[in-house]
Chains A and B, each alone.
Chain A
Amino acid sequence: MDARMPETLDLSSFVRHGANGTAHMELAVEGVGCAGCIRKIESGLRQLPGVVDARLNFTNRRLAVDWHDQKLAAGEVIEALAHLGYRAQPFALERAEADEARYARQLLICLAVAGFAAMNIMLLSVSVWSGNVTDMTQETRDFFHWLSALIALPAAAYAGQPFFKNAWRAVRVRQLNMDVPISLAVLLALSMSLVETVNHAEHAYFDSAVMLLFFLLCGRYLDHAMRRKTRAFAGNLAALKGETAHRLNASGELVAVPVGALKPDDRILVRPGERVPADGIVMGGTSEIDSSLVTGETAREPIAAGTTIYAGSMNYSGTLTVRVTSAGAGTLIAEVERLLEKAVAVKSRYLRLADRAARLYAPLVHTAAALTAIGWLIAGASVHDAIVTAISVLIITCPCALALAIPAVQVVTSGAMFRANLILNSGDAIERLAEADTIVFDKTGTLTLPEPRVDNAAELDPDMLELAARLALTSHHPLAAAVGREARERLPIEGAIEEPGKGVRAIVDGQEARLGSPDFCAISAALRPSGDEPGTSIIAFSYAGRSILLAVRQKLRSDATAVVRALAARGFEIHILSGDRPAAVAPIATALGITAWRAGLKPADKIAAIEALKAADRSVLMVGDGLNDAPALASANVSLSPISAVDITQTHADAVFLGERLAPVLEAVTIARGGYQLMLQNLWLAAIYNAIAVPIAIAGLVTPLVAAIAMSGSSLIVTLNALRARGKSRTKPVVALEPKVVSI
């Protein structure tokens, strides 16, 4: 089985060819941690023949390499990096990420323009304010106002684009979002100031309008930068998984290719102990596969030619030839995608907290402004004065604080989650996480570890176990891999001989050691376990006349019991919805003390169960990893999935957690609840600010100076309050956590 022929990795799908025979490739690099790494990697690569340039981006841990095509193969670059001590994987920049990078750059330019304009207009405005109370002539004031207009109008037209576009999009579908009142306030302030300038008036509000844009752009840029950072990190994780497939070329030659380069109708070879890299139909070979990552079913099933298999299944016993297919009708993938489409459509109806606030706020402010104008007219003021007062109401209530209230908290909270090994996919997931009161777990791969483990390791003789584990390291069988994980020293025993389908044997210190089926190790019937427990494989090990039996099965995550208990103590209602057999789910549910569990569910059944919970007015957090969980994740109010989950499931989860522990689930709800509290506090702060400012504006007492002070003051308070989410995340949750190690 171990006769693996040497093969070269075909990286052509990641290499871009330049004009004069140069090639370019981007790589995600693991293990870059210090200043020396930059120099070591770059100068190390430049010593390779043909390398033109190598540049490491330390911020997102990515490396760009250019070389002459004839002199060097792409694989040699990766080998050279491995020689330098860094694991690297080629990386194809996703379009979404490239678009976001361009948008971030655009936002930063807008921010710079708004900042430049705000500072220069403020310089002129302060002169006017002090001139108004001293001896400034009208000509000088007009000159300064015209200069302000000259700066403010083009600057606002450029820097306001992100808001204007969003507002226009919302208005077109007859909706209100926070950008509508923002755009209205900016446009009205600018046009009123222009009219006032033409009429040689004392006050103009150019500074308020541009300053408003500057503050809001700050918030928006920070929000965007945080999301880009987590996305880049997630992209590196995906690339560093480095999944390869063995493709059979037309000539029958075997080539290793990255999974991303597979196309439909490619023929691939799946060896024992490998995960199936893509969906397909078995063309030849027989084997047993474990599709627990796909359906949650832990028992292995036999497969032969003609069967459809899914990406993520583990191949156990035989080598398979598979033809890659795109999703066909009637397959599990097709059903999952159909259900997903429906669930996603339903979910988009969720109204974000910010939009809910905007819906409440915008009509209120606009009515107040209209009433102010009417009130002043009735009181006998001129039309001009009435309109100026009404517009100053709009400016002072400008949703500066309100529009910063939620994004500021989102930025800080998603940063706190990042440090807790949680990668957020969407910003509004925080509020939905905070509202959740029911948690639905999938069993396989979520409550349990994705790979099987030796369950009775603690009861066995440690020396025998160590020897068994070191012998297991020589084999590629998935069950042997589970035993091999127990090895303290990762030293495979030399000279081991594998007998396919039976086990491995080796001579250690003159005595024979055997690891494999109980028959292979000649274990007498009396010693064998009586009943055949489903989902458990018994592996025997014999050495020097002694023998042990190892029970390999799906094991609970190390902290699952503590986390589930802590969640229950917080008042969460906890359910298990599993696709596995009842006999496999019952012991897990008992061990965790969960009474509400159901087993043997199809994807549609899971959705039905979640819909039933939602109908009973529960807000559901779904935690799952299988392909069969993807629709359920999308239909739940909010969802989490472990990093080991299949791709389609990860993309539909609101957040992905790293590592082998379940603790991030608890941290997610803890941090989200803290963040939500701060969001509400901020909304209240903004409301209080308005309650004080609006009467002043209605009374007609708002000068540009008052508006400037009120606006920057309220924005600062809200932002400072949001920063408290940083401090909060450091308080330890109920479950004590070990130092966090990101395992990939």
Chain B
Amino acid sequence: MTVLVYLVPMALMLGLIGLAAFVWSLKSGQYDDVEGSAIRVLSDDDIEQPDRDEEPVR
């Protein structure tokens, strides 16, 4: 069972990385506008089409 001595701490480290990622995402303001983010993902604002302003977003 000696394998546990490094396997379990490794699992914990992976968990900690996840926790750190969450804290980073929170501090960088990614949870400030949760409703907006859900909608923004549908808009094609990364495609350059300057004349498309009048067209409704589907």
Residues of chain A touching chain B, judged by Cβ–Cβ distance below 8 Å, are 35-36, 38-40, 42-44, 56-60, 105, 108-109, 112-113, 116, 119-120, 123-124, 137, 140, 143-144, 147, 151
Contacts and interface: CB of A to CB of B under 8 A. Distances in A.
Given A38-B39, A40-B53, A108-B26, 12 more contacts: A35-B42, A36-B56, A38-B36, A43-B45, A44-B53, A57-B33, A58-B33, A58-B39, A59-B36, A109-B23, A112-B19, A112-B26
Nearest to B8: A147
A11 B19 CA distance: 42
Given A58-B36, A120-B12, A112 B56 contact: no
B5 to A, nearest CB: 7
Contacts of B8: 124, 144, 147
Most buried by A among B5, B11, B31, B39: B39
A548 to B, nearest CB: 47
A35 B42 CA distance: 9
Interface in B1-57: 1, 4-5, 8-9, 11-12, 15-16, 18-19, 22-23, 26-27, 31-36, 39-40, 42-43, 45, 53, 56-57
B19 A36 contact: no
Contacts of A112: 19, 22-23, 26
Nearest to A106: B26
Interface of B: 1, 4-5, 8-9, 11-12, 15-16, 18-19, 22-23, 26-27, 31-36, 39-40, 42-43, 45, 53, 56-57
A57 B36 contact: yes
Nearest to A116: B19
A108 B5 contact: no
Q: A interface, by DSSP: helix, strand, loop or mixed? A: helix
B19 A113 contact: yes
A35 B57 CA distance: 7
B57 A36 contact: yes
19 contacts: A39-B43, A39-B45, A39-B57, A43-B45, A57-B36, A58-B36, A59-B35, A59-B36, A60-B33, A105-B26, A108-B26, A109-B26, A112-B19, A112-B23, A123-B11, A124-B8, A143-B4, A143-B5, A147-B9
Contacts of B34: 59
B6 to A, nearest CB: 12
Nearest to A139: B1
Nearest to A58: B36
A84 B4 CA distance: 63
Nearest to A104: B31
B43 A35 contact: yes
A120 to B, nearest CB: 6
A488 B19 CA distance: 60
Nearest to B56: A36
A140 B7 CA distance: 13
Contact of B31 (A108, A113, A151): A108
Nearest to B42: A35
Nearest to B40: A38
A446 to B, nearest CB: 34
A147 B5 CA distance: 10
Nearest to A44: B53
A638 to B, nearest CB: 32
A135 to B, nearest CB: 11
Given A57-B36, A59-B35, A140-B1, A147 B53 contact: no
B33 A59 contact: yes
Nearest to B1: A140
Contacts of B42: 35
Contacts of A108: 26, 31
Contacts of B32: 57, 59
A171 B31 CA distance: 35
Contacts of A42: 45
B23 to A, nearest CB: 6
Contacts of B53: 40, 43-44
A113 B39 CA distance: 29
Closest 9 CB pairs of A and B: A58-B36, A36-B57, A35-B39, A57-B33, A59-B35, A116-B19, A59-B33, A58-B35, A39-B43
A124 B35 CA distance: 37
Given A59-B33, A59-B35, A38 B43 contact: yes
A665 to B, nearest CB: 31
Most buried by B among A38, A44, A108, A144: A38
B36 A147 contact: no
Contacts of A36: 56-57
Nearest to B36: A58
B20 to A, nearest CB: 10
Contacts of B16: 116
Contacts of B9: 147
A645 to B, nearest CB: 30
B2 to A, nearest CB: 10
Contact of A147 (B12, B31, B39): B12
Nearest to A105: B26
A58 to B, nearest CB: 3
A134 to B, nearest CB: 13
Contact of A120 (B15, B33, B45, B57): B15
Contacts of A143: 4-5
A264 to B, nearest CB: 36
A594 B16 CA distance: 65
A36 to B, nearest CB: 4
A24 to B, nearest CB: 15
A120 B12 CA distance: 7
